[in-house]
Chains A and B, each alone.
Chain A
Amino acid sequence: MSGRVGDFRILGPFRSGSMAELFEAEAPSGEHCLVKRPKLGFGSHPACYAGFETEQMVLGRLAGPHVPRCLGQGEETADGRGPWLAIERIEGQSFEAIAAAAPLPAAEVARLGVLLADALHALHRQNVVHQDLTPAHILLTVQGRVVLIDFGLACHGDLPDLAATEGGAATLGSPAIIAPEQVLGVRGDPRSDLFAAGAILYRLATGRYPFGSVASRWGLHRRRWFDPPPPRLENPEIPEWLQEIILHCLAVRPERRYASAAQLAYDLAHPDQVVVGERGRRLRRGGLRLAVKRWWSERQLDLAEPARPVRQLERAPHLLVAVDTDDQNGALAEAMRHTLRRLIAHDPHWRITCVGVLEPSIMTEQDEGASIGHSLHTAKLAILHQWAHPLALPRERLRFHVLTGGEAAAQLVDYARAAHADHIVMGARGSSVMRRYLGSVSARVVAEAPCSVTVVRVPQAQDG
């Protein structure tokens, strides 16, 4: 094909898949891009068009650095060949190419996993579930950013689910990777993408997929009842924390997985904070007894209409609490803990990260060696644990982090952004030793934070 579609000049073929053809093209701005057209006509699969129009619809509504920009689209062209879509051309390496070198070192798996989970969270926040996440649909750009492509099976919580209406295996997704509930036709749950992410991390860490790559009916359905072999069985060099994370993603029931991609990203970025349980240590797969139990519980399962993707994220908020480590038991600390209890009361999948600040002035005064800095850091961590102790919350829901160096407000805001925080809780300083570090920062955090901020104040006794 040559010539033009809309305002785009076709330069030549780029790639031809089973569902669509891609062409290199030039946008009116001169930018090189891709033009996608579905394979239509006699003999083409009906899902070709559904996949294409789904992508047209979903990409048109997505924004941000983790998806290709939609540059233009149209239904008809002069050559009469039907609809087209012009998208940004992403230069990068696919995870498929990266996976060819698997097994990769744990640190590299975690690094790639954080980039992927960040991209997924950005997608889910826009009310979209990818539903067909495979290594071939994940690109790593030269700038080190993950871009997700191919939204032909995607589900948008606010738009008609056109892909779902096609049914059949062709619209199911990749058999090696898709989540158990997707096998049963449930769509619109962001945790399905987390299962797929777990399968991809499994492959990066071990070199194979958790359920093999055979597309047999049994291969597709056994994931509904059976655990995959523990990754450490495949590759003994995998640390327990990484196995814990991967198997957490691969839980059969969505509610047993991470509640959001943000939580997955956090754990991959902070391996030392992952609470390793039996799941992380095990070297045997669950037996027949467990499979029968799951088979039975699945029969009791009510496959209700899935909620909108953003609803799931709303139920899984990440709360950041900026702790004044000089005030553990005062009225303000108690008021802050009370606020936290209220904030998590109605959201079943919350997580709390307690953040402390190590003041730069103390660092410079006492920085006579790395060991002093280190001991201050661990002392702060201990205080953070102590601060959270009265909350009596499950350990696996809590994270602790010490920010060091630099200006407190800016650091807190940056950290909130990186950790995909949904809500920051901090105290309004009345008078305390820490005022010069935290007291002046709340106004700035309120102004610059990427999320809601609650500033807690202890009610003052009124005069007269």
Chain B
Amino acid sequence: MKLAILSDIHANLEALTACLAHARRHGADAWAFTGDLVGYGADPHACLGIVRDLAAQGAIVLRGNHDDAALGGLWPDMNPVSREAAVWTRSRLGEAERDFLAALPYVVARKDLLFVHASAAQPENWEYIVGPAAAARCLAATEAKIVFGGHVHHPRLYFSARGDVSAFVPRPGIAVPLSAGRRWLALAGSVGQPRDGNPAASYLLFDGVSRRLTFYRVAYDWLTAAAKIRAAGLPNTLAQRLEHGL
């Protein structure tokens, strides 16, 4: 089994299709979408169509804070750009899309794997895992050996070490064996809105047999994705972010 984990698609159709094609070329036969399917990008309808089709075939799909926002669950300190994008996204969703988003779970467990958008510790609070302390809280909240998540838009790998947690910045394309003697938290980065200075889309491929995890970066047509954001009348900063990966 080769499981592709895609997080924070943010309605970026160009990035999503590029990652799916890349993952299929590398043998992916199972899919997990760890939240924030929509929000920011110009193609919520098309992206949800693709994810719903894969969900019908067994893909794991999770709820993210921006999916919540598109259903009306705006949070108090939401910045104006996110708020504007959420309101715009809501106007583009039909009943079928809204029902699909409303039914998404916060957490899914499969054997010794756990999938969540933000943190396994109170997932509905959308905590950002920005360092080993937050990663330790996440791992402490579950028995799972490996937790997959997103939300922070930076690819990271955390692992347990003598009662502590260490962080590792993964190198794209290098398979890391996740040994059974430790617990691991893999943050997939973002498919549709990378923020680590590299505009290429980020996703994970996990080999369930060898238990090797590979972080990938995929170049996609971000100029088109940015042009669509401008054409839709969404804030220009959202288009600029895609061009610079910031």
A residues with CB within 8 A of B:
46, 49-50, 53, 56-57, 60, 75-76, 83, 158-162, 165-167
A-B CB pair tally, cutoff 8 Å? 41
Cβ of A333 to closest chain B Cβ, rounded Å: 42
Q: Which of A49, A160, A162 has the most CB of B within 10 A?
A: A160
Residue in A50, A159, A161 whose CB lies within 8 Å of B174: A159
B179 touches A76 (CB 8 A): no
Cβ of B121 to closest chain A Cβ, rounded Å: 22
Residue in B162, B164, B168, B181 whose CB lies within 8 Å of A53: B181
Closest to B158 in A: A160
Closest A-B pairs by Cβ, 10 of them: A165-B161, A75-B180, A160-B168, A53-B179, A158-B174, A158-B171, A49-B181, A165-B166, A57-B177, A159-B176
Known contacts A46-B162, A160-B166, A165-B166; decide if A56 and B179 are in contact (CB<8 Å): yes
Query: How far, in whole Å, are A46 and B161 apart by their CA atoms in the complex?
Result: 10
Q: Which of A50, A57, A161, A165 has the most CB of B within 10 A?
A: A165
Closest to B164 in A: A165
Residue in B161, B171, B180, B211 whose CB lies within 8 Å of A162: B161
Does B157 make an interface contact (CB < 8 A)? Answer: yes
Cβ of A157 to closest chain B Cβ, rounded Å: 8
Does B159 make an interface contact (CB < 8 A)? Answer: yes
A166 touches B181 (CB 8 A): no
B180 touches A83 (CB 8 A): yes
Query: How far, in whole Å, are A167 and B161 apart by their CA atoms in the complex?
Result: 10
Residue in B162, B164, B166, B180 whose CB lies within 8 Å of A76: B180
13 contacts between A and B (CB under 8 A): A56-B179, A57-B176, A57-B179, A75-B180, A158-B174, A160-B159, A160-B166, A160-B168, A162-B159, A165-B161, A165-B162, A166-B161, A166-B162
Is the interface on chain B under 10, 10 to 19, 20 to 34, or 35 or more residues?
10 to 19
Closest to A57 in B: B177
Query: How far, in whole Å, are A278 and B171 apart by their CA atoms in the complex?
Result: 44
Closest to A58 in B: B177
A residues within 8 A CB of B177? 56-57, 60
Cβ of B180 to closest chain A Cβ, rounded Å: 4
Cβ of A55 to closest chain B Cβ, rounded Å: 11
Closest to B157 in A: A160
Cβ of B214 to closest chain A Cβ, rounded Å: 11
Residue in A46, A83, A166, A167 whose CB lies within 8 Å of B179: A83
B residues within 8 A CB of A57? 176-177, 179
Cβ of B54 to closest chain A Cβ, rounded Å: 30
B residues within 8 A CB of A167? 162
Query: How far, in whole Å, are A281 and B177 apart by their CA atoms in the complex?
Result: 49
Query: How far, in whole Å, are A158 and B168 apart by their CA atoms in the complex?
Result: 10
Query: How far, in whole Å, are A161 and B170 apart by their CA atoms in the complex?
Result: 11
B residues with CB within 8 A of A:
157, 159, 161-162, 164, 166, 168, 171, 174, 176-177, 179-182, 211
Additional A-B contacts beyond A49-B181, A162-B179 (7; CB < 8 A): A50-B161, A57-B177, A75-B180, A83-B179, A162-B159, A165-B164, A166-B161
B176 touches A160 (CB 8 A): yes
A residues within 8 A CB of B174? 158-159
Cβ of B18 to closest chain A Cβ, rounded Å: 24
B residues within 8 A CB of A83? 179-181
B residues within 8 A CB of A161? 168
Query: How far, in whole Å, are A159 and B177 apart by their CA atoms in the complex?
Result: 9
Query: How far, in whole Å, are A159 and B214 apart by their CA atoms in the complex?
Result: 11
B residues within 8 A CB of A49? 181
Query: How far, in whole Å, are A43 and B159 apart by their CA atoms in the complex?
Result: 23
Query: How far, in whole Å, are A56 and B176 apart by their CA atoms in the complex?
Result: 11
Cβ of A34 to closest chain B Cβ, rounded Å: 20
Cβ of A200 to closest chain B Cβ, rounded Å: 31
Query: How far, in whole Å, are A46 and B162 apart by their CA atoms in the complex?
Result: 8
Cβ of B107 to closest chain A Cβ, rounded Å: 25
Cβ of A314 to closest chain B Cβ, rounded Å: 15
A residues within 8 A CB of B211? 75
Query: How far, in whole Å, are A34 and B166 apart by their CA atoms in the complex?
Result: 32
Query: How far, in whole Å, are A461 and B101 apart by their CA atoms in the complex?
Result: 70
B residues within 8 A CB of A60? 177
A residues within 8 A CB of B171? 158
B residues within 8 A CB of A159? 174, 176
Cβ of B228 to closest chain A Cβ, rounded Å: 36
A residues within 8 A CB of B179? 53, 56-57, 75, 83, 162
Cβ of B213 to closest chain A Cβ, rounded Å: 11
B residues within 8 A CB of A158? 171, 174
Cβ of B103 to closest chain A Cβ, rounded Å: 36
Cβ of A458 to closest chain B Cβ, rounded Å: 39
Cβ of A81 to closest chain B Cβ, rounded Å: 13
Cβ of A130 to closest chain B Cβ, rounded Å: 19
A residues within 8 A CB of B168? 160-161
Closest to A167 in B: B162
Query: How far, in whole Å, are A159 and B166 apart by their CA atoms in the complex?
Result: 13
Query: How far, in whole Å, are A49 and B180 apart by their CA atoms in the complex?
Result: 10
Q: Which of B157, B177, B180 has the most CB of A within 10 A?
A: B177
Closest to B180 in A: A75
Cβ of A163 to closest chain B Cβ, rounded Å: 10
